[in-house]
Amino acid sequence: MRTIFFSLLTAVLLSGAAMAQQTGTLGVSGGYPGVSAHLGIDDVGLKGLGVRVNVGYQYVDPAGLSIGADLLYTLPVDTGDLPGALYAGLGAATIPSESFTVHGLVGVSIEWMELGLDVEDVSLFLEGGVSYGIEVYETPEGEDANTGIGFLARAGINYHFEF
């Protein structure tokens, strides 16, 4: 039931954001604890605030199809001559009937043009953070679901578009 609620809440937030915004990202990432594809919308109600929906496969126990969402904020930090934009965020992910985690993350997004590559609208990102598994499911054996502290680390590529 909670999975359905969070899925509907995410859909409502994204549908409202999509009507009001003009830029987004489409990307893929891989690392720990899995791989995913994602769709993001930039500047949702506040400059620098974005929403990202993730669908992927978590290959670390518990393994399975993972669905999640992140709220990301681009930090107003002057990186000087270093390329990239720093961001921080909060999110949640679920493997239906298996696990539910919340996480915090920090990352850097670097446009390929800033690296001297002649490729527009594409960026590389690196991010890492801490996660916490919350007990919302019971395993088939009747034991408590996975809980506790974990971490995440991933690298990915984004394509930036206007709509």
**Residue 134: domain span:** 2-155
Location of structure tokens 């954001």: 17
Q: In this predicted model, what pLDDT tens digit does every residue of 123-149 receive, in sequence order?
A: 999 999 999 988 776 666 656 556 789
Number of domains in the chain: 1
CA distances from 14 to 79, 148, 155 (A): 30, 29, 24
Pick the closest to residue 150 from 135, 131, 134 (CA basis).
131
Is residue 88 a part of any domain in this protein?
Answer: yes
CB 56 within 8 A of CB 34: yes
CA–CA distance, 4 with 159 (Å, rounded to integer) = 29
Is residue 71 a part of any domain in this protein?
Answer: yes
What average pLDDT is seen over the chain? Answer: 86
Stretch 24-36: mean pLDDT, rounded? 96
pTM for the model stands at 0.80
Is residue 31 a part of any domain in this protein?
Answer: yes
Predicted confidence at residue 42, as pLDDT, reads: 93
Is residue 131 a part of any domain in this protein?
Answer: yes
Is residue 162 a part of any domain in this protein?
Answer: no
Predicted confidence at residue 21, as pLDDT, reads: 46
Is residue 161 a part of any domain in this protein?
Answer: no
Stretch 98-115: mean pLDDT, rounded? 92
For the chain, count helices (H), then strands (E).
1, 8
Q: What percent of the chain has pLDDT over 90?
A: 59
Give the CA count within 13 Å in the CB-facing half-sphere of 152: 29
Predicted confidence at residue 139, as pLDDT, reads: 62
Is residue 53 a part of any domain in this protein?
Answer: yes
* Higher pLDDT pick, 161 / 140: 161
* Higher pLDDT pick, 160 / 143: 160
Pick the closest to residue 154 from 27, 45, 62 (CA basis).
27
Amino acid code (one letter) for 153: A
Predicted confidence at residue 151, as pLDDT, reads: 93
Pick the closest to residue 77 from 55, 37, 108 (CA basis).
108
Stretch 87-114: mean pLDDT, rounded? 93
Task: Flag whether pLDDT at 64 surpasses 70.
Answer: yes
CA–CA distance, 46 with 159 (Å, rounded to integer) = 21
* Higher pLDDT pick, 4 / 105: 105
